[in-house]
Structure formats: C-alpha cells, structure tokens
Amino acid sequence: DADVTQTPRNRITKTGKRIMLECSQTKGHDRMYWYRQDPGLGLRLIYYSFDVKDINKGEISDGYSVSRQAQAKFSLSLESAIPNQTALYFCATSDFAGGGETQYFGPGTRLLVL
C-alpha cells in the first residue's frame, strides 16, 4: 500500500462549488504539506502543518483552507472553486531527520474547474 494517499485522484467541478481534497499517510510523519502544480511553474506551496495544532500558510494560500484532522490526515478545501484553480494538487509529508528533511509526495489529484 502507498505511504501517502490522496482522494480523489481526479475531479471535475463547476465554478462556485465547494470541494475537498483529502490526504492520508502511514509514514508516521508529523509534517504535512499541500502543493499545486501548474504547467511551467513547478510546484508551489499552499499550506503546511507541523502537527495537528500547527497550520501555516504557504505562498499561495488565498482561496484555500485546510484541516489537520489527525496526525495522518490533512485535507485541502476550495470554498468556492474558480477556473484558475485547475491544477494538479499534491500532498506531501516529511519528518526531520538529522540534517535532511525529505518530503515524500502522494500520487496527486487532478482538478478541473469548469
């Protein structure tokens, strides 16, 4: 089984709809992240969380909110989806380990907002 899972894997929605993307991990990591990927722009950080009680905005948090329901679960919500939120969304986890902090990514969710 994958260490980091994301649901749904693909989603089509309409402008103005509320949508939630979910992420679960079995790696036992404390830190979790949400990124979006747009063609030609690489990945950009939306939100990150060090633990259940700690949530922080990334560089492009406007229009998004998150919930850390448990150490293993981190959800991303689009309260009112708009077409420029069409992108590939990744959840990632990490655990600081002696100098290196590698982030491990889920399989991604392809979101299309019409």
Partner 1 sequence: AQKITQTQPGMFVQEKEAVTLDCTYDTSDPSYGLFWYKQPSSGEMIFLIYQGSYDQQNATEGRYSLNFQKARKSANLVISASQLGDSAMYFCAMREGGGFQKLVFGTGTRLLVSP
Which residues form the interface with partner 1 (CB under 8 A)? 31, 40-45, 48, 50, 58-59, 88, 90, 92, 96, 99-108, 110
Report the C-alpha dihedral over residues 19, 52, 69, 58, rounded to 10 degrees. Answer: 10
Q: Report in angstroms how near the CB of residue 49 gets to partner 1 at its nearest.
A: 11
d(CA 60, CA 81): 15
CB 9 within 8 A of CB 110: yes
Tell me whether residue 77 or residue 104 sits nearer to partner 1 (CB atom).
104
Tell me whether residue 14 or residue 44 sits nearer to partner 1 (CB atom).
44
Q: Report in angstroms how near the CB of residue 43 gets to partner 1 at its nearest.
A: 5
Calculate the alpha carbon distances from 22 to 32, 65, 86 in Å.
Answer: 12, 12, 16
Tell me whether residue 85 or residue 106 sits nearer to partner 1 (CB atom).
106
Q: Report in angstroms how near the CB of residue 31 gets to partner 1 at its nearest.
A: 7
Of 34, 25, 44, which is closest to residue 77 (Cα–Cα)? 34
Q: Report in angstroms how near the CB of residue 101 gets to partner 1 at its nearest.
A: 7
